[in-house]
Structure 1
């Protein structure tokens, strides 16, 4: 992407947080009355410094990881497996809450302009999540101008609102208007200020999006990514500081029926077209920010599944080339959180800061270790920047965890702990299965002779699938299923091999024992993977004919069905027995970690005549 397109697409999450970050800050300070509100500008300046420090530190991450360096990758590479999993937990909590908070803020923007809808925020939010789910399952992509327009509209609207607000304040000598009467319900002490700082810091969510997506930029990718990140940080600081400043000058406080941003837009523009434009742009950019999580959450799940920390079903792309299973999990989790907290942004904010700054802290700490180890050019300066970002992020994380513990932060901490427990157990199970499947020289029984397909020609490499040949009545005779004695049946056994291990060897041995022609079939994600498997196959002895089908999008069932279907249509006289190894586990909970390929193949191949699907169990 060009920088002008990448900026709005990748910055939507961060910039849209201006819609709820300043309000979250003021909502805490107002509890201390006028004394608490007097701290709004100093706390905002501290948050601006934090934005600047974290933004500069992520510039170093982009330089060190020009192919993309998210918190999970950076923490795992430099701190180890457990810190990487903790960072992933923080990221995934952040993405779930990004959907919930963005939608709750978007519905608040709508109900501020249309108060008659205020009683329907929960069904409206759930409907929006359902639309996002359907769109992402259909493969909706972040494409150029369509996704750039709402972000640029939001930037223009907020900058215009701030400019008009400052101009109005200049006309009265920058004298602050009196705030509505508020009664202090707690002392304006250090604890209140720390809670406000933690709440306002949620305006920093999404800062790491650009460092995750370095490869999507035009060359030179890392340089363009750093430039875009600098522009994003500059805009975020301007929008956040400007919003807090005019809120202070206009004496605006959070209200239950109208957002702070809506009140400020009324002050600057009245109730005319610019007010409607501002509220519409706010709602659209928040919806776009929610959709950003649909791109990142499934990818983190993919990385976890690749490292055996999540079920392998998350490796699979859907028909529309989207990680469909990850999209579904995100939608369900976000809907549950949104409904549980009644769609109220103020109730969701205490959970938000914990996950965000946990990931920030571990990512920047990992970068400190990276520079210390690599000693690359300017490593001392980069280490200093990343250490500052790590320290400040850790301060916010600890502050949010302590000050907002009873308000909901405990739930985020428990979620991180449960995530760590589940992912380590999943890794332990996969390691146990790998050890059980591992080939040992003394246990491999080499066939005494090569077994080649007989009475049938060599199968094709990867022919297309023609439509099933069925007669008008669909009877068995018209489909070539008239054999009623064993002598009339001609066999071909096709053994599906994902890798050379004990289970696949047992399936091959079973197929060879039938004394029928045997063909081994393997699906590879790339030519490189195919060559590696072919080398292992030759090393084993190349005892059986092998065909490899390339599936670049990691789909398995569709290529297998296509190949087997093509075999059937080329040789309709053959009865094809599809044999595949099946991992059988002791506990029901472990079944979720293994794909039920046999059942899916049976359902998909059922329309074709003379196809038999059988599994060879391997118990672990």
Structure 2
């Protein structure tokens, strides 16, 4: 299918991914050219009604169920795609069939299917709506899990100044709590302004412009990569504290965990929110019990802090040290924006439930973070490279009994869940960038297991490199962390300030002040982290964000050039040869559909290979199906090619919504409706499977026909740009290969 779209389109409200970039709206100039092109087509193709009567099949093969009937099962977001209504069961075949090739290739194929599972050719992803009690643990895992390493990162800087430095832990923690409140209230205003979801990239792009939006996206992408690396490092450390025998191999263990997350996410088996809620609630319970028991023990001794061990002083207390500690401790705020990104995933009223859930998350985060700092102060524990700070506190409170093991297991589980959260958000940001033509189009589509496979693989590779390069040590990874996330916070809140100044809704001044305060405090943390931690590793994040902006702008320039090449021009349209008349009417009407009359016998003959026994040209009967996403030069060339064959032609458009279907039909009518058109509306968040299902339905009608599926294909002249364009034909060939007499061909359009 043709690829040209328009910036800002291609998602549901709030930027939720849809099967493909939505049909771009044609301006008045393009509509005029479309009508002019249609006039020229009418002069060479003759009566459109004759083309419809020449079809050897019935184009209307049924419909998919409406979106309201598509819902997730109890424990999975995957749903089966039934055949089109009115159709018999599809011909069965083994999708995991191993092609006839070399022994090593077959072994690799079987291993891949063992790990990733067979392709889900007949499945799709249904939207999952979450209640507040489910959304709280699912969307708060990243933020709440940061309690496991945020306080340790703060104290790890202050301990350089000995006991005098640790005395600053409470006031610095108080400042971080104020920052949490300010940013949390700011994101409440973001949810009110963007009730259909508004992440940092969307908010910054719409209010500040292209460059700030890309910088925010770069910060988010860096944050998600580090979320995986830091969460895995902290989780491995928590396991190692409970089971010391594992402490000798943290890097191999962490790499194994990342590979397991990669395989699990590539399988596409995303469990429902209720399953993900368990580890987060277990961590909340464990922390509440730890704080309650620890504070009650401190109350028994009159809240007198226990003495800390002797600490060597390597740096005096100063403004630089305090600011470094503040920036390090602020990493406990990562993940706060997750709820504002996921507003459409809530049950109605979405924005109100999202704001309530955000308030609960901020309250829990403040309670756990502040309580941990106070308990560390009272117990006198200090950062230890051989045991995580939280493990020391649990040891001091519970000893080595079952409650200590429970705290460590719950901590490790929520950290791993936080890492898995990045596997949801990282591919989504890539999808939004690809939708806006700043990332390769391959990040728009699902893999054969209905996951954003390319984004998942990229995230895993980046996280593995970072994790191994820094030895799987949380203390080494933390300096990279604050830069990206607080850059995204700052740009998002600055964008909200401009938003309120522009719309001036009720209470806009109060909202502007909240966002301005949140943005200013986030900017302070960003600048502080960038300066104080630059030599310690923050330069990696700064360099990564800069490179990200350069690469994405270069990609956008290429897509803009392709867009200009694909625009309709009256003197650049290819037409069929002069006086191309409609093909002759079929000798007989469409054969009975499968399951009627001789349908079973026909399918049996197909299995035996009798339907592919044509030996003479006159025995071959054709139908060309031209799959179109948009009406541009590439699409017009594909239509011209199909019509020039002087065989029956059927144009096909798969639309993810009724609105797009109506818009495509309107554009087709503007063109002149010279060839038969069928628009299939699919409620599924997949595009290839419904297309395959439709082609199979046509095949069942007339198994004797040779069906040729024709697709436009963008072919860049420079090889390095080819990765920027999708290869949907290969996926169709793979899915349709088991059916006889199906041909998939592409019409190249060189740019």
Provide, for residues 90-136 of structure 1, a one-character-per-residue CA deviation record: whole Å limited to 9, x for no partner: 11111111111111111111101111101221222222222222332
Distance in 2 separating the partners of 1:136 and 1:442? 48
Pick one of 139, 142, 159 that aligns with 1:10.
139
Deviations 1:454-501, CA, capped at 9 Å, x for gaps? 4277889x999x9997779977xx432332222332222222222111
Shift of 1:554: 4.9
Contact 2:594 2:701 in 1 (8 A): no
Cα distance in 1 for partners of 2:432, 2:600 equals 37
Instruction: Pick one of 507, 511, 523 that aligns with 1:378.
Output: 507
8 A contact 2:594–2:700 mirrored in 1? no
Q: Secondary structure at the match of 1:185?
A: coil
Task: Say if 2:296 is the partner of 1:167.
Answer: yes
User: Are the counterparts in 2 of residues 11 and 209 from structure 1 also a CA contact under 8 Å?
Assistant: yes
Q: Is 1:422 the equivalent of 2:579?
A: no
Kept in 1: contact 2:207–2:498 (CA 8 A): yes
- Relative distance call for 1:452 and 1:536 in structure 2 (3 A) is farther
- Map 1:599-610; keep pairs closer than 5 Å: 599-610=730-741
Aligned to 2:11: none
- The answer to whether 1:150 aligns with 2:295 is no
Gaps of 5+ in 1: none
Shift of 1:167: 2.2
Contact 2:708-2:745 at 8 Å conserved across structures:
yes
Name the counterpart of 1:244: 373
Pick 1 or 2: higher relative contact order, CA cutoff 8 A, min separation 6. Answer: 2
2:698 maps to which residue?
567
Q: Compared with structure 1, are the counterparts of its residues 565 and 7 closer, same or farther at alpha carbon in structure 2 (3 Å cutoff)?
A: closer
- The superposition leaves residues 237-274 of structure 1 with CA deviations (integer Å, 9 ceiling, x where unpaired) of 11111111111122111111111000100111111111
1:490 corresponds to 2:621: yes
Q: In terms of mean alpha carbon deviation, does 38-47 or 513-522 score higher?
A: 513-522
Instruction: Find the counterpart in structure 1 of residue 631 from structure 2.
Output: 500
Per the alignment, do residues 429 and 123 of structure 1 end up closer, same or farther by CA in structure 2, a change over 3 Å counting?
A: same
My pick for the range that moved more, 544-553 or 384-393, is 544-553
1:514-551, CA deviations, whole angstroms, 9 ceiling, x for partnerless residues? 22222222222222212211111111111111122334
Query: Structure 1 residues 382-391 or 549-558, which shifts more?
Result: 549-558
| Pairs aligned (count) | 616
Q: Name structure 2 gaps, 5 residues minimum.
A: 1-129
| Partner Cα distance (1:330, 1:453) in 2 | 54
Calculate the TM-score normalised by the size of structure 2: 0.78
1:419-568 matched pairs, under 5 angstroms: 419-444=548-573, 451=582, 454-455=585-586, 478-568=609-699
- Greater shift, 384-393 or 588-597, is seen at 588-597
Kept in 2, the 8 Å contact 1:451–1:543? The answer is no
For 1:304, the equivalent position in structure 2 comes to 433
| 2: CA distance, partners of 1:91 / 1:278 | 30
Aligned residue for 2:611, secondary structure, equals coil
Deviates more, 1:112-121 or 1:491-500: 491-500
Residue 571 of structure 2 aligns to a residue in which SS?
helix
Instruction: State the alpha-carbon separation in 2 of the partners of residues 319 and 213 from structure 1.
Output: 25
Whether the 8 Å contact between 1:72 and 1:85 is mirrored in structure 2 is yes
Cα distance between partner residues in 2 of 1:468 and 1:307: 50
Aligned CA RMSD, in angstroms, stands at 2.4
> Are 1:318 and 1:555, in contact at CA under 8 Å, matched by a contact in 2?
no
Q: Secondary structure at the residue paired with 1:519?
A: strand
Aligned to 2:195: 66
- In the TM superposition, what are the counterparts of 1:37-52 in structure 2 within 5 Å? 37-52=166-181
The equivalent of 2:748 in structure 1 is 617
C-alpha spacing 1:470/1:342, structure 2 compared with 1 (3 Å)? farther
Partners of 2:605 and 2:611 within 8 A in 1: no
Is the aligned partner of 1:213 residue 2:342? yes
For residues 521 and 297 of structure 1, what CA distance do their matches in structure 2 show? Answer: 33
Show the 5 A alignment for 1:102-113: 102-113=231-242
Q: Please, which moves more after superposition, 228-237 or 210-219?
A: 210-219
SS in 1 for 2:472: coil
1:100 alignment counterpart: 229
Residues 361-372 of structure 1 correspond to what in structure 2 (within 5 A)?
Answer: 361-372=490-501
Name the CA shift for 1:324/1:467 in 2 (closer, same or farther; >3 Å): farther
Which sits farther off after the overlay, 492-501 or 600-609? 600-609
Tell me which residue corresponds to 1:177.
306
Counterpart of 1:441 in 2: which secondary structure? Answer: coil
Q: Can you list the C-alpha shifts for 1:144-180, whole angstroms capped at 9, x where unaligned?
A: 4422222222122212222222222223232222212
Contact between 1:452 and 1:518, CA under 8 Å: does it hold in 2? no
Which residue pairs with 2:61 in the alignment?
A: none
More helix by share: 1
- TM-score when scaled to structure 1? 0.94
* 211-220 or 414-423: bigger deviation: 211-220
Partner of 1:591: 722
Once the two structures are superposed, residues 200-246 of structure 1 have per-residue CA deviations (whole angstroms, 9 ceiling, x without a partner) of 00000111111112223333322222222122111111111111111
Alpha carbons 2:715, 2:749 under 8 Å: kept: yes
Matches of 2:655 and 2:594 in 1, distance apart? Answer: 16
Spell out the pairing of 1:250-329 with structure 2 (5 A cutoff): 250-329=379-458
In the TM superposition, residue 329 of structure 1 has moved relative to its aligned partner by: 2.0
